[in-house]
Amino acid sequence: MPAPIYRTLKPEKIIETQRLLRERIARRFPGSGLSGVAAELQTVAEEAAVRAEKIRKPNISLRISVALLLLSALASVFMMARSLQVRADLWEVMNLVQFIEAGLGAIVFLSVAVLFLITLELRLKRSRALAAIHELRAIAHVVDMHQVAKHPDGLIHRGGPAVSPSPLRTTKTLFELNRYLNYCTELLAIISKVAAIYIQGFPDANSVAAVDQIETLCSGLSQKISQKIIVLEQILDEPEVQAKEEVTATTEAVVAIPVG
């Protein structure tokens, strides 16, 4: 029976998808802030594959400590039992109560210590996962900041005077703006998938909730960008805008031809 290859996320596939997206953004918008974000996300995705594997693996040193503690507890109980002298007065009520109290106290103390070590491994893994997920949340907001000022009215102002272009403008045409916004939605999709890597082999409730929050955040930001794309596509469908876009593209192509 073939292995279920479509039931788990493969980090290497996510990394490859992000690499291709980074190259597309770099070709379309070389030197832009968005290309820098894409390069950073590429690094984060590669680190996520390594981090998630470390989180998934058991902490051998902690588990050895728990095992040694259990063995020491059993050895202590055994030594206490051997140290008792079989005497006639051993079974007096007072001696019996003192023995039971001492034994129960030792068992409770050791049980608490064992429980602490067991939960310590979980808490350490959870802390690492949440820290990595927090990085992805920050990157998602950075992507949103790169598109928040991108409006079609920045390139064309219908029914009024044209808006002067900014010297730091990345997009020069409505088509480029459309591609820019679509790249932002793709980056947000990659961010949510990278976050899911951390809980694939570590189904901790708190970590799963944090990843769900990341997915909700990325989905909400993508919907906001999609609204811009819908408006932009409506503008692009207008004949006068299409003609202007063609003229702009032709002019840029002529300027790009080397002279000499």
- Distance between CA 238 and CA 127 in Å, rounded? 52
Residue 65 to residue 58: CA distance in whole angstroms: 13
Domain-wise residue ranges, the chain: 11-57+129-252
Q: From CA 171, how far away is CA 29, in angstroms rounded?
A: 8
Q: pTM for this structure?
A: 0.75
Report whether 64 contacts 77 (CB < 8 A): no
Are 197 and 49 within 8 A, CB to CB? yes
Q: φ and ψ at 247, to 5 degrees?
A: -65, -40
**Tens of pLDDT along the chain (260 residues)?**
555 677 888 999 999 999 999 999 999 999 999 999 999 999 999 999 999 999 988 888 877 877 787 777 677 767 766 665 544 454 555 565 666 676 677 667 777 777 777 788 889 899 999 999 999 999 999 999 999 888 766 555 544 444 444 444 566 688 888 999 999 999 999 999 999 999 998 989 999 999 999 999 999 999 999 999 988 888 876 665 555 555 454 444 433 334 33
11-57+129-252: what fold?
Glutathione S-transferase Yfyf (Class Pi); Chain A, domain 2 (1.20.1050)
Cα–Cα distance between 155 and 169 in angstroms, integer? 10
Residues in the chain: 260
Burial class (CB in 10 A: 0-12, 13-18, 19+), 78: exposed
